[in-house]
Amino acid sequence: MSAFQGTKMNPTKFHKSQFKFYALLIPLAVFMALPIVYIIFHAFKPIDELFAYPPRFFVQKPTLQNFKDLFTQTNSTGVPMIRYLFNSIIVTITVVVLTVLISTMAGYALSKKEFKLKKAIFEINTLALMFVPAAVAIPRYLLIEKLGLINTFWVHIFPLLAMPIGLFLVKQFIDQIPNELIEAAKMDGASDFQIFIRIIVPLVKPAMATIAILSFQLVWNSVESSTLYVNDEGLKTFAFYMSTLASQATGNNVAGQGMAAAASLIMFLPNLIIFIILQSKVMNTMAHSGIK
């Protein structure tokens, strides 16, 4: 037995040499978690703690009054809150499913298929990553108006289906799949659809989970479509409703600060839960997509 074999460490067993990593990572993790902890505690603060000086990070006398006031305020509106929530759930599910499907199919075509303008299309998609939504707001509005989507339910869905970062991640991930695997499937008589469903999809699940998270965060928190494209109050989303309600309450009374804190927590929690569930998939995607 060699000297190296005699001192080989078990990767699953803690060793004192790992202390230096924990000494750096644990304080960093705590520091990055502070905003999340603050959002949670802030929503349960009573009025006197919300306006305390100096500001308090942790809540001392937690209360649910902020949430009670928020839901009481919803009773005074013409459209029930459940309608806004229903709109957001339907829009979010539809956009997430279609975005994952479109990005995965397009990524497969750009990675493993040969056709004209293939490189040009991918370059255009990469170039689109440089533009923030505000830069294309006016052209997007003109296009939506020409399509006749103003003040319709579809205006929440169609503009968000184009996701350049999703296509980029999937394409880079699929590039790691050996071409020999696909060629072997073709020799066995598999069609493109069978290759996509039975080979590509199982191997790119981490990338699909990442796209789902990014798409969910984009749709769930979006107020652009409800603000710019929709006039009918019954077609607007939960994010728009909560932001409007919280801003109105903040301007009307002191208790509105508590309602705004409660609304922020309600909007934030779904994003946190989904990321916690799928975060391992995100890390796997970043490791195989060329993003360092």
User: Greater confidence, 139 or 291?
Assistant: 139
Radius of gyration, alpha carbons of the chain: 24
DSSP secondary structure, 240-285, as one string: HHHHHHHHHHHHH-TTHHHHHHHHHHHHHHHHHHHHHHHHHHHHHH
pLDDT greater than 80 at residue 70: no
Token output for 139: 């052209």
User: Greater confidence, 79 or 14?
Assistant: 79
Token output for 163: 């996701």
Residue 200 is given by DSSP the state I
What pLDDT is stored for residue 135 in this prediction? 81
pLDDT greater than 70 at residue 280: no
Q: Which CATH superfamily is domain 31-290 in?
A: MetI-like (1.10.3720.10)
pLDDT tens sequence across 147-201: 888 988 899 998 888 888 889 988 988 888 888 888 898 888 888 889 999 889 8
pLDDT tens sequence across 239-264: 888 777 766 655 555 657 777 888 88
- CB 230 within 8 Å of CB 155: yes
pLDDT tens sequence across 213-233: 889 988 998 888 888 888 888
Confidence of residue 285 (pLDDT cuts 50, 70, 90): low
Question: Vertex 214, ends 205 and 90: CA angle to 5°?
Answer: 95
Residue 58 is given by DSSP the state S
